[in-house]
């Protein structure tokens, strides 16, 4: 069976672990438990008649004190840039991380997730900026909520499809 490595990257507390946990186990918790290092998970999905094992690398978030080691992303078939829509600085972080990762592993499929879409009153990103960004960078951008389970399946499936059809 095909087996592909996918990384979750982004600033701290954007919801990387919550998204994986929602996707793999269907559960969510409001309690914040930060990830140290990287947590590996696996989920088998079907893409056009084909079963694929996704090996998910839930990498610790980048903060002021800790950069992400680029060795973690080696061998990824694609990755997800996770942004917290209620903290606009996490978008800048995602963009700078992407250019670093590109230097390490070149061009592979990318999806940007604007997470925490349930928190509309605290939302800090405006649609126009996002639209512009997605056109300029040619990334698929998907709004998601790990809390309510919105956009999560769609995102992983769409990334896997892009990977398979490469």
Q: What's the closest the beta carbon of residue 18 comes to ligand GTP, in angstroms? A: 3
What would the two tokens of residue 113 be? 């997730």
- 151 contributes a contact to ligand GTP by CB under 6 A: no
| Residues within window 60-79 making contact with ligand GTP, judged by CB under 6 A | 60-61
- 16 contributes a contact to another protein by CB under 8 A: no
| Residues within window 97-126 making contact with ligand GTP, judged by CB under 6 A | 115-116, 118-119
- 156 contributes a contact to another protein by CB under 8 A: no
Rounded to whole angstroms, the Cα distance separating 166 from 137 reads 18
Distances (CA, A) of 79 to 51, 119, 126: 19, 24, 23
Rounded to whole angstroms, the Cα distance separating 154 from 48 reads 14
Kindly give the pairing relationship between strand 50-59 and strand 38-47: antiparallel
Applying CB under 6 A, which residues contact ligand GTP?
12-18, 29-30, 32-35, 60-61, 115-116, 118-119, 145-147
């Amino acid at each position: 069976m095909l087996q592909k490595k996918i990384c979750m990257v982004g600033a701290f507390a954007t919801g990387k672990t919550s998204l994986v946990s929602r996707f793999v186990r269907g559960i969510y918790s409001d309690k914040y438990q930060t990830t140290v290092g990287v947590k590996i998970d696996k989920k088998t999905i079907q893409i056009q008649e084909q079963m694929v094992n996704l090996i998910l690398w839930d990498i610790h978030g980048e903060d002021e004190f800790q950069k992400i080691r680029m060795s973690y992303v080696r061998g990824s078939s694609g990755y997800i840039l996770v942004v917290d829509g209620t903290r606009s600085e996490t978008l800048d972080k995602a963009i700078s991380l992407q250019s670093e990762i590109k230097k390490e592993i070149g061009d592979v499929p990318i999806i940007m997730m604007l997470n925490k879409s349930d928190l509309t009153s605290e939302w800090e990103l405006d649609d126009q900026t996002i639209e512009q960004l997605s056109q300029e960078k040619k990334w698929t951008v998907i709004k998601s909520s790990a809390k309510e389970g919105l956009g999560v399946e769609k995102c992983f499936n769409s990334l896997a499809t892009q990977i398979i059809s490469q």
